[in-house]
Structure 1
């Protein structure tokens, strides 16, 4: 499906509310970033979304899935947790439990959740049996099949195999249109998952290697292969379009991919390749020049990641509140 002009979206009630009320401080930064996102797309630019934290368990798919379907996201860099947790929610949503009083839990309360195999993420408990073990069974099928054939794929490609097979549709417990991974699979959207090993399924994969179920530890492609793939993607994409970066949270999901530009320039001598064409970060990290996540965007100029004229935005707020509002604005909801 061809990418639509973001500006062609009519202004719905959420957009109208934001335009009228969000005039100052972090609210103004939010609307500036949303308008900048739209401007970037309307000029023919493409966008990479960096997804950190536990945004999938926060059900960001309710808005992100439509961003993907509309062609407003061209590449995702995310943690292994966000990759898998959207699918956990897809197949086990009815078994999740919300703990609104999570701040009051004692160590004994936490232990009780452990004994019930309910893994807590802030106010939400993920059921191990219905979510994690169900997906382990599905992933073992595609991992071992590829291993026997001597094939190798990136983590998200194995997820796409499971989703697109249709075999697990009977387990869906949310409307699949609200799953960003289903939307990504249907568009075959490229996804970078740096540090994928640091995830539940990454741990399960390691266990399968130790058990001998998987003979080649490299059946799942990770690490440096992601960076070499990204270097080629960035080089080819920016021949015809500017590539922007919209970062939700901090850490490896954003730190890893943004470095592709200085690597191309400084280590490969490809000086003509353009810098990132847009940058926005939603962060609740304390502003600090000793913290990467807390550093203001201008610091990235010194590292050869952003330019003086690159549109730069930072919204110091909770991404679970801010990201859906920005997406709604870009979508014209």
Structure 2
């Protein structure tokens, strides 16, 4: 523990049982993967960007402790929204007590609630919309096609958003990823606000659907990336459940079973942080061993599950990896 800071020493001393012990074991397992030269995929479900996970996740990216990300379209865009409209966000600590009328009042005031935090529609969505539309339109005019995250990278690196910045740029995980041109997979991007906005332009005949690359193209990209980077293993660190985790983890059985590339290695590490307990058919609540039957994990793959709030657990694990 000599090279570890106070946070890391604290959790090793006091987090000794149950979910707290699983947290420490998962952190040590993640570090062991990095030490042996394995790559790591981190998947972000839910609203981790609105939860401001970027404050520490950006440093994980800058220090090369993640090599590819899978995230929902919401996490992709909400990091940028927080960057340009942070002062307009509204926190609602008593969100459990809101009446339907009070929820309606938030809508009328352009505030879209995510648990205890309201995203301001006008300042967040609309500040991005004009600029991303220009980038979509320019690409289409040039006969170019890009992935959703690549369009976001272009938006960030163009500098057009700098006039709106309301937080320190170092706290934006998307900016850190853009600087490194880090690979990102965004399954189901069409389900996001920017995806909905893009669809509206397609319906109006202003853009072609083909200008933004599809989920199938993301999977083919991921398959190629996995094959090129799995020599020393690739670990899977899953925050939450849903499509952000299910989509990328399936690349292994696809390569092994569907393409019959039987030399494809299983994921070399697996950890899931989730508050979903095991129940009827729930993917988010499935224990890691279930993934053995689907050809995703091996019998001896290090497996961890921390059944707790990801906004508590993930920063502590990341702090451990950063020797904080």
Give the TM-score range, shorter chain: over 0.9
SS of residue matched to 2:221 = helix
Q: Would you say the 8 A contact 2:131–2:160 is kept in 1?
A: no
The residue that corresponds to 2:272 in the other structure is: 281
Specify the alignment match of 1:212 in structure 2: 205
Unpaired segments ≥5 residues, structure 1:
1-6
The partner residue of 2:174 within 163, 174, 181 is 181
Could you say which residue in structure 2 is the equivalent of 1:263?
254
Counterpart Cα distance in 2 of 1:201 and 1:128: 12
Give, in whole Å, the separation in 2 of the partners of 1:92 and 1:149.
Answer: 31
TM-score, with length taken from structure 2: 0.98
Following TM superposition, by how much is the alpha carbon of 1:79 offset from its aligned partner in structure 2, in angstroms?
0.3
Structure 1, residues 275-310: CA drift from partner, whole Å, max 9, x if none?
000000001112136221111101111111000110
Instruction: Measure the CA separation in 1 of the matches of 2:120 and 2:217.
Output: 32
2: CA distance, partners of 1:79 / 1:168: 22
> Are 2:319 and 1:328 equivalent residues in the alignment?
yes
User: How many aligned positions are there?
Assistant: 324
Q: Which residue of 2 aligns with 1:272?
A: 263
Counterpart in the other structure of 2:74: 81
Cα separation, 2, equivalents of 1:32 and 1:59? 24
> In 1, are the aligned partners of 2:148 and 2:186 still within 8 Å (CA)?
yes
Deviation at 1:88, TM superposition (A): 0.2
Within the candidate set 233, 246, 249, 1:242 is matched to: 233
In the TM superposition, what is the alpha-carbon distance from 1:327 to its structure 2 partner?
0.5
* Structure 1 residues 151-162: aligned runs within 5 Å: 151-162=144-155
Which residue number in structure 1 is paired with residue 215 of structure 2?
A: 223
39-48 vs 240-249, which deviates more?
240-249
Number of the residue aligned with 1:296: 287
Is contact 2:70-2:185 (8 Å) kept?
Answer: yes
**Are the counterparts in 2 of residues 91 and 172 from structure 1 also a CA contact under 8 Å?**
yes
Report the Cα offset of residue 12 of structure 1.
Answer: 1.1
**What is residue 4 of structure 1 aligned with on the other side?**
none
Aligned to 2:89: 96
SS at match of 1:16: helix
Contact 1:279 1:313 survives alignment (8 Å): yes
* Aligned CA-pair RMSD: 1.1
**For the residues of structure 2 that align with 1:75 and 1:54, how far apart are their CA atoms?**
19
Distance 2:259 2:123 in 1: 47
Tell me the CA shift for residue 241 of structure 1.
2.4
Of residues 111, 122, 125 in structure 2, which corresponds to 1:118? 111
Q: SS where residue 295 of structure 1 aligns?
A: coil
Give the deviation of 1:10 after TM superposition.
3.0
Per the alignment, in what secondary structure is the counterpart of residue 332 of structure 1? coil
1: CA distance, partners of 2:169 / 2:11: 28
Structure-1-length-normalised TM-score: 0.96
Q: Which string of whole-angstrom CA distances, capped at 9 and with x for unpartnered residues, describes residues 65-108 of structure 1?
A: 00000000100000000000000000000110100011110011
Match of 1:135 in 2: 128
Q: For structure 2, which runs of at least 5 residues remain unmatched after alignment?
A: none
Which residue does the alignment assign to 2:62?
69
- Distance in 2, matches of 1:91 and 1:330, equals 29
Displacement of 1:16 in angstroms is 1.2
Structure 1 ranges of 4+ moved more than 6 A: none
